[in-house]
Amino acid sequence: MRAGAATHKRAFMRLTKYFLPLLKETPSDATIASHQLMLRAGMVRQNSAGIYSWLPLGHKVLKKIEQIVREEQDRAGAVEMLMPTIQSADLWKETGRYDAYGPEMLRITDRHDQEMLYGPTNEDMITDIFRTSVQSYKRLPALLYHIQWKFRDERRPRFGVMRGREFLMKDAYSFDIDEASARQSYYRMFVAYLNTFARLGIKAIPVKADPGPIGGDLSHEFVILAESGESGVFAHRDLVEMAPPGDVDFDSDLSGEVDKRMALYAATDEMHDEAAYDAVPADKRMEARGIEVGHIFYFGTKYSEPMGAKVQGPDGKPTTIHGGSYGIGVSRLVAAIIEASHDDNGIVWPASVAPFGAGIINLKVGDEACDRVAEELYAKLSEAGLDPLYDDSSDRGGVKFSRMDLIGLPFAITVGPRGIKDGVVEVKDRRTGERESLSVEAAIAKLTG
């Protein structure tokens, strides 16, 4: 047994013991599908404009997405840390951003009359940590990230957690000795993002973004294609279908993977170049709507210069480091994935982020045979790591079926007297709607195989 592992058997996740406040009717405040479904499926509860509590079901999905993002950052060589939500205004005054940021920044005064703020991002803080910790070029390049709550006092929060004021973000920061090296760090994150979104079960494409005052070509947004997207996207169709790099060596030259994508036209409407788009073969042109779920950019010495973040170079001279930052909206992804994957009956979770791997519906709780089969299924699926949810409620069949559809688990296994008589249970695939009657063993094999 692993050290620290629980010695007791894990309790069944029974619906009757879970906290899942579902809504039959759509709250009138919600206007887009993901927001409506998140409320109806009991995933979140609004507390203020743009501020949400994550109820158990939503919290599970949030954590699953967070974990995939984390694993892909780790794989790309980024190192995890954690910075606070509350920051001192001093650093922001150093970079000039305290005044530049405007009313989007939530400013707080503590009991000592110190000006504080709830961080909307962490460039200033990480640069401060870096400059006081690293003095030599030999420690470069460095790539650090954290996954932390942010607050931006949006003029108009809307669409649920899609544009909340408080949101969970993965933000990574790179430090390099020069621009050429910084480009390699940028490519690392570029490829890591491709893999991350692929694992989340969604198609996110990198599109050219406004690089800001630095210029150059090193700024990309990653957008999920969905009808409800906030921005228009023009892209070469091949970009959407291109397979993720997968198992790459992040210490190798990644320019091949990146260049073949950057060579294909893709831009949001504000960066759209009509002439360049016209050069794309007509049958490869694609116009769609997109939701921004990630943004990466190289910003050079924007923060290191004013903050004096320098290292000693090989020539012995102080050299200002080159930075980049890389964000993924983790909480936004929950909504974005739903936008990209739902139907009239509810959410259709990609397996990698589903809150439970499967639902087990017992149509006749209290019936000895039904209970036994349902519990056997639970135990075996659980052993196989599928993390099932057991609907042990006394609700009628129809209620159970539609509830399972609403919360969108990839599979629902129905156990009822009728099937048991024939030695079968029914397995339903949420995405296709296909149902098949299988023996218990075959059902388990199907879901775990």
Partner RNA sequence: CGGGAUGUAGCGCAGCCUGGUAGCGCAUCUGUUUUGGGAACAGAGGGUCGCAGGUUCGAAUCCUGCCAUCCCGACCA
Residues that bind RNA (CB under 7 A): 22-29, 31-32, 46, 48-50, 103, 152, 154-159, 161-165, 167, 169, 221, 230-231, 292-295, 327-329, 331-332, 345, 363-364, 394, 396-399, 401-403, 405-406, 414, 416-420, 426, 428, 435
CB of 2 to RNA, least distance (A): 35
CB of 119 to RNA, least distance (A): 13
287-311: b or e for each residue (b if 16 or more CB lie within 10 Å)?
A: ebbbbbbbbbbbbbbbbbeebebbb
Please say which residue, 102 or 281, places its beta carbon nearer to RNA. Answer: 102
**Residue among 179, 213, 323, 203 nearest 266 (CA):** 203
CB of 209 to RNA, least distance (A): 8
CA distance 308 to 210: 26
Residue 188, helix vs strand vs coil: helix
CB of 24 to RNA, least distance (A): 4
Q: Give the angle 221-223-226 at the CA atoms, nearest 5°.
A: 160
- Rounded to 10 degrees, what is the CA torsion of 242, 337, 231, 277? 10
Q: Give the angle 262-268-270 at the CA atoms, nearest 5°.
A: 120
CA distance 43 to 144: 31
Please say which residue, 119 or 177, places its beta carbon nearer to RNA. Answer: 119
CB of 260 to RNA, least distance (A): 23
CA distance 110 to 92: 16
CA distance 350 to 339: 12
Please say which residue, 141 or 164, places its beta carbon nearer to RNA. Answer: 164
Q: Are 55 and 19 in contact (CB under 8 A)?
A: yes
CB of 164 to RNA, least distance (A): 5
What's 341's DSSP letter?
A: S
Please say which residue, 286 or 424, places its beta carbon nearer to RNA. Answer: 424
CA distance 167 to 173: 18
Please say which residue, 167 or 175, places its beta carbon nearer to RNA. Answer: 167
CA distance 423 to 441: 10
CB of 254 to RNA, least distance (A): 22
CB of 148 to RNA, least distance (A): 12
Q: Which amino acid is at 218?
A: L
First vs last Cα of the chain: how many Å apart?
A: 25
What's 121's DSSP letter?
A: -
282 CB neighbour count, 10 Å cutoff: 6
Residues in the chain: 449
Q: Are 176 and 321 in contact (CB under 8 A)?
A: yes
Please say which residue, 58 or 294, places its beta carbon nearer to RNA. Answer: 294
Please say which residue, 361 or 386, places its beta carbon nearer to RNA. Answer: 361
Please say which residue, 223 or 311, places its beta carbon nearer to RNA. Answer: 223
CB of 354 to RNA, least distance (A): 17
DSSP β-bridge partners for residue 236: 285
Q: Which residues neighbour 252 within 8 Å (Cβ) at sequence distance 6 or greater?
A: none
Please say which residue, 168 or 248, places its beta carbon nearer to RNA. Answer: 168
Please say which residue, 184 or 345, places its beta carbon nearer to RNA. Answer: 345
CB of 391 to RNA, least distance (A): 11
Please say which residue, 141 or 294, places its beta carbon nearer to RNA. Answer: 294
Tokens of 29: 């405040």
Q: Are 202 and 339 in contact (CB under 8 A)?
A: no
- Residue where the block lists tokens 């199907």: 446
CB of 299 to RNA, least distance (A): 11
